[in-house]
Amino acid sequence: MKTFTVGSTTVAVIEDGSFFMAPDFLTGPVEPGTGERDEHGRACLPVLSFFVTGSSTVLVDAGLGPDPEGALRSIATPLGIDQQRMGLAGNAGLGPALAGCGVGYDAIDVVCISHLHADHMGWLVDVDGSPVFGNAEVLLPRGDYEYFVVGQLPQVPRAACDALRAMVESGRAELFDGEMAVSREVTAVPAPGHTPGHTIFAVTGDGERAMIAGDAMYCPAQLNELDVGGRHDIDPALARRTREMIAREAAEHRTRTVGGHFAGGCTARLIDGCVVIG
Ligand SMILES: [Zn+2]
């Protein structure tokens, strides 16, 4: 498992499966993966969660979950993406990876979600609808909750909608908006465009800073290819402004950036206008 540090804070990059994607899901000629393609020319992208160990244990995003095929289908079908263009490549690994970090689901203090697409919240509820993280404070972006759950859009399957609604109504999950401290080390920062409530998370430690960018960026090259977005961004102009904000921060502060699907779970910096991996 990959880890990186932000001062004395450690971030473990956890792969909870991966999927193949036709590379034209990006709006420009940017390589989304490592350059390797399957027989259909599709790139393989990991589904990443981030386990931050500091004054408390924080998990950013919750993977594909116990039904990874169903999770992918719930994203692909409403967008009209057929199976030739998107498919499951690898299965779930969040639980074993957390165990490798020495923690179980019940030891997570906070689970915060970048947006309510099924590949980012899969393990919030188990197949029987019960919460997976028994002791965690679960934080959901209000803009996405209102858009997908209250709006009953098919990107969040009905069973997941019902489970999220039950978690919110019982106080097991809280809705947030605006910039907000998640823990001493993690801050939620609004980053809309991909979805209405899309959020990125700044991790700080000892004067250093990193940015967990969710689906605001799919690959490091987008740090200096700001016109290249995701074809399925709900508000492309807003998504571009969000990429600008991330790139400005990366350039001015040499902030390390990692997205929810960066190939190999790599991090990237923008140094003198060049994208530097690591
Ligand atoms: Zn995603």
DSSP per-residue string spanning 27-74 = SSS---SSS-B-TTSPEEEEEEEEEEESSSEEEE---S-S-HHHHHHH
pLDDT tens digits along 4-14: 999 999 999 99
Question: What average pLDDT does this structure show over 87-102?
Answer: 86
How far apart are the C-alpha atoms of 122 and 65, rounded to whole Å?
4
Element containing residue 270 per DSSP (H, E): strand 268-271
Determine the average pLDDT of the residues in 127-131: 87
Output the pTM of the full model: 0.95
Residue 264 has pLDDT above 80, yes or no: yes
CA 251–ligand 1 middle distance (angstroms): 24
The residue among 30 and 275 whose pLDDT is bigger is 275
Handedness of CA 161, 164, 168, 171 (dihedral sign): positive
What percent of the chain has pLDDT above 90?
A: 73
DSSP 171: T
Lowest mean pLDDT among 72-86, 96-110, 168-182, 184-198: 72-86
Indicate if the pLDDT at residue 178 is higher than 90.
yes
Which H or E run contains 277? strand 274-277
Three-class secondary structure of residue 249 per DSSP: helix
Q: How remote is the CA of residue 185 from the centroid of ligand 1, in Å?
A: 23
Q: Could you list which residues have their CB under 5 Å from ion ligand 1?
A: 119, 215, 260
Distance between Cα 113 and ligand 1 center (Å): 11
Distance between CA 263 and CA 92 in Å, rounded?
A: 16
**Can you give the pLDDT at residue 240?**
97
The closest of 269, 212, 262, 195 to 43, measured between CA atoms, is 262
The alpha carbon of 120 and the centre of ligand 1 are apart by a number of angstroms equal to: 6
Q: Are 268 and 39 in contact (CB under 8 A)?
A: no
User: Got the DSSP string for 81-141?
Assistant: --TTTEEEEE---HHHHHHHTT--GGG-SEEE-S--SHHHHGGGB-TTS-BSSTTPEEEEE
pLDDT digits (tens, 9 = 90+) for 194-245: 999 999 999 999 999 999 999 999 999 999 999 999 988 999 999 999 999 9
* Mean pLDDT (whole number) for 75-95: 78
Cα-to-centroid distance, 231 and ligand 1 (Å): 12
Residue 72 CA to ligand 1 centre (angstroms): 10
Provide the percentage of residues in the chain whose pLDDT is more than 70: 99
Rounded Cα gap, residues 254 and 55, in angstroms: 24
Ligand 1 center from residue 19 Cα (angstroms): 10
- What does pLDDT average to over the chain? 92
User: According to the model, what pLDDT value does residue 115 have?
Assistant: 98
Cα(7) to centroid(ligand 1), Å:
27
What pLDDT, on the 0 to 100 scale, is given for residue 123? 95
At residue 32, the pLDDT reads 77
Paired with 222 in beta bridges are none
Return the pLDDT at 83: 67
